[in-house]
Amino acid sequence: MKNLKIATAQFENRSGDKEYNLSVMEQIAGAAAAEGAKAIAFHECSVTGYTFARHLSKEQMLELSEPIPGGASLERLRQIAEKHDIAVLAGLFEKDDDEKLYKAYVCIDKNGLVARYRKLHPFINPYLSPGNEYCVFDLYGWKCGILICYDNNVVENVRATALLGAQVIFMPHVTMCTPSPRPGAGFVDPVLWENRVNDPTSLRLEFDGPKGRMWLMKWLPSRAWDNGIYVVFSNPIGMDDDQLKNGCSMIIDPHGDILAECRKLDNDFVTATLVPEKLTQAGGHRYTKARRPELYRDIIGQPNVSEQKVVWLHKQGE
């Protein structure tokens, strides 16, 4: 397995404007390829936009969505990949032959579809169906996985994908700067974005504080550390419908260290080189080998019902 240079990106998408979003993605992909990147990751629903979908009917969602494979946006992504000799990872809404809707993320190279993943824990629109499969695929000799946004907050999903062989997990998001029971969470005023040239400091304080990056740092590096994997995080910046997002797209190594991060208050990308040696040097590699599944196999597999825990404890004599 050889070193692999990859990129992650952030940009301000337009709701429902696939042509515009794909044009920006092509520009960024071309620039990343010129720096030697062999793959570039964009955010969740980067092709379509995301937050505006909370208002859409099923008919509107079906019109926005595309079949995978076979959709026009996938062909455009394939053309971008071929033109710039770079694999492109991007998100969009998918519809199948039975008109079921999914939140999808794809990896496309010059030959077409390499991998397709459906979000396991979708929301934003009530007509979305959850995916039911993990995804691990080969990219330039590296085993890669995909988990979309909230999927990564359920730690079992990350561990399962790593146990299936993933050495790199792409984690596309549309996150941060939204209300939550978490202390310090909340929206960031769009006026700060509009005034970012004159007053970048006020915006950066909001973006990097508990509403944004500070929360991300509570958990994202630990996903890489615990599992001994590379994490490729991507997130939009700017206005996504009526909500402001703070970017911070980054690449994290198996030690939990940030190798590269987008810090511009604008469209941006960064690159980093993945080296195979870190996969076995990392603590997560040792922790995974030290697992004793017989101790917790039945616990982790229990349904999410509090009574189940009571029954299990009773059987253990506690």
Alpha-carbon gap, residue 148 to 254, rounded angstroms:
19
167: closest CA among 303, 11, 294, 6? 6
Q: Region 207-211: what's the mean pLDDT? A: 97
Q: Output the pLDDT for position 304.
A: 80
Q: Specify the range with the lowest mean pLDDT, choosing from 2-16, 37-51, 185-199, 297-311.
A: 297-311
Is pLDDT at 318 greater than 50 in this prediction? no
Is pLDDT at 83 greater than 70 in this prediction? yes
Q: Is residue 44 part of a domain?
A: yes
How many domains does the structure of the chain reveal?
Answer: 1
pLDDT digits (tens, 9 = 90+) for 222-270: 999 999 999 999 999 999 999 999 999 999 999 999 999 999 999 999 9
Beta bridge partners, 271, equal 7
Is pLDDT at 309 greater than 90 in this prediction? no
pLDDT digits (tens, 9 = 90+) for 18-69: 999 999 999 999 999 999 999 999 999 999 999 999 999 999 999 999 999 9
Alpha-carbon gap, residue 91 to 77, rounded angstroms:
11
Is pLDDT at 317 greater than 50 in this prediction? no
Is pLDDT at 146 greater than 50 in this prediction? yes
Q: Output the pLDDT for position 316.
A: 43
Q: Is residue 316 part of a domain?
A: no
**Backbone torsions φ then ψ of 265, nearest 5 degrees:** -90, 60
**Backbone torsions φ then ψ of 68, nearest 5 degrees:** -130, 115
Q: Is residue 304 part of a domain?
A: no
**C-alpha R_g of the chain:** 20
Q: Output the pLDDT for position 315.
A: 44
Alpha-carbon gap, residue 93 to 160, rounded angstroms:
24
Q: Output the pLDDT for position 305.
A: 67
Alpha-carbon gap, residue 207 to 224, rounded angstroms:
22
Q: Output the pLDDT for position 303.
A: 87
Q: Which domain holds residue 207?
A: 4-281
Is pLDDT at 188 greater than 60 in this prediction? yes
Q: Which pair of structure tokens corresponds to residue 20?
A: 């515009």
Is pLDDT at 312 greater than 50 in this prediction? no
Give the contacts of 314 (CB within 8 A, at least 6 positions apart). none
Q: Is residue 69 part of a domain?
A: yes
Q: Is residue 146 part of a domain?
A: yes
Is pLDDT at 313 greater than 50 in this prediction? no
Is pLDDT at 118 greater than 70 in this prediction? yes
DSSP letter assigned to residue 66: B
Contact criterion met (CB below 8 Å) for 165 and 143: yes
Q: Is residue 305 part of a domain?
A: no
Percent of the chain with pLDDT over 70: 96
Q: Is residue 166 part of a domain?
A: yes
Q: Output the pLDDT for position 52.
A: 98
Q: Region 70-82: what's the mean pLDDT? A: 98
Is pLDDT at 314 greater than 60 in this prediction? no
Q: Is residue 306 part of a domain?
A: no
Is pLDDT at 276 greater than 70 in this prediction? yes
pLDDT bucket at 306, cuts 50 / 70 / 90: low
pTM over 0.85: yes
Query: What's the CATH number where 86 sits?
Result: 3.60.110.10
